[in-house]
Amino acid sequence: MSGIPVLHAEGDCIARAWENSLVALFQHGAELTTQYDKPGDPPSRDATMVITVHEPLSEPRIHRDFPGGFEDLQEYVMEVCEGIKDHLVRDPSDPQDTRWEYTYHQRLFGYEVPSIGAIDQIEHIAQRLAETPHTRRAQAITWKVWEDRSCYDPACLQSVWCRITTEPSGARLLSMNVRFRSNDAYKAAMMNIFALVELQQRIAVRITELSGQPVGVGRYCHMADSYHIYGFNLKEFEARFLGALERRSFDQRTIRYEDVRDIMEAARPQILEKARAMGRKR
């Protein structure tokens, strides 16, 4: 194949699919430079990646080699799904405002369009699918061409697309496709997938409320134009991640979300206070 490789990985659960994607990327990815390289950094391992998680809510959902701890994962879920850091987004009309360019929640749940206002794209997806489960128009985007083509840190997540299918058993399942333009495979992707599967679950619940018919969570597809391990992380990746593949079983490399759910939920008050403090500081 010429150009950037297109790779595929899959798994029954989030942890296995993510792990398989990293192995495929390390073995078959191209060596490319990035805009963040420092002098002497080795090239990154990079590819276009398609990851399919067949049963996103099946255990184990968490891989032990994701960055941070369980409270960090809970904080990220709350950031994406609940908007606890939307108050940190800058005012684009104020050139002196140096806060964040965006949050995913703000772009998905309150997409600001000049002269129109904020659009809740996730509610739109739920309403569309409650009315017409087979529609191909249930999507949300994050890219703002009038801002992101020139901003310093444009959104990596680009779109969310959903559709409902009816299985032979009669069960209705919500499948979701997510596309990233750029995705740090080792340091971010597992947290991205975990939080977006939580969003998928919440959309399914909302469709159930609107339609009066149960909707479950179907397969999750994660697509990244540039799925990469930065060169400056490769030594750590080889020693820690690849080393664990040789030394530990899959059960030892992963953990069930159900076993840490209480820990993560108990962290919610301090996470909210941390987010409020970030706003006060800025």
* pLDDT tens for each residue of 262-273: 999 999 999 999
The CA-atom distances, in angstroms, between 74 and each of 8, 195, 198, 203 are 28, 9, 11, 18
Coil, strand or helix at 179: strand
Kind and range of the H or E element at 258? helix 257-266
Compute the distance between CA of residue 108 and CA of residue 80 in angstroms, rounded to an integer.
Answer: 9
Kind and range of the H or E element at 276? helix 268-281
Task: Confirm whether pTM is higher than 0.75.
Answer: yes
The CA-atom distances, in angstroms, between 161 and each of 147, 174, 238, 264 are 22, 10, 34, 28
- Name, in order, each residue with C-beta under 8 angstroms of 97's C-beta and a sequence gap of 6 or more: 90, 91
Residue 76 maps to a domain: yes
Residue 159 maps to a domain: yes
- Region of poorest pLDDT, from 40-49, 54-63, 84-93, 250-259: 84-93
Domain span at residue 167?
6-281
Compute the distance between CA of residue 160 and CA of residue 35 in angstroms, rounded to an integer.
Answer: 26
- pLDDT at residue number 152: 78
How distant is the alpha carbon of residue 121 from its chain centre?
A: 17
- Give the CATH number, domain containing residue 253: 3.30.572.10
Residue 208 maps to a domain: yes
Unique residue bearing structure tokens 């080393």: 243
Residue 1 maps to a domain: no
Q: How crowded is residue 67: how many other Cβ atoms within 10 Å of its Cβ?
A: 12
> What's the number of domains the chain is made of?
1
Task: Report the candidate in 207, 218, 229 with the shortest Cα–Cα distance to residue 169.
Answer: 218
Compute the distance between CA of residue 196 and CA of residue 176 in angstroms, rounded to an integer.
Answer: 9
- pLDDT at residue number 92: 73
Residue 260 maps to a domain: yes
- What average pLDDT does range 49-69 have in this prediction? 97
Q: DSSP for 29-50, please give it.
A: -EEE--TTPPTTPPPEEEEEEE
- pLDDT at residue number 91: 78
Residue 211 maps to a domain: yes
Residue 63 maps to a domain: yes
Q: Could you tell me whether strands 254-255 and 30-32 are parallel, antiparallel, or unpaired per DSSP bridges? A: unpaired
- Region of poorest pLDDT, from 40-44, 71-75, 268-272: 40-44
Compute the distance between CA of residue 25 and CA of residue 268 in angstroms, rounded to an integer.
Answer: 34
Residue 223 maps to a domain: yes
- pLDDT at residue number 268: 98
Residue 226 vs residue 33, higher pLDDT: 226
Average pLDDT, the chain: 95
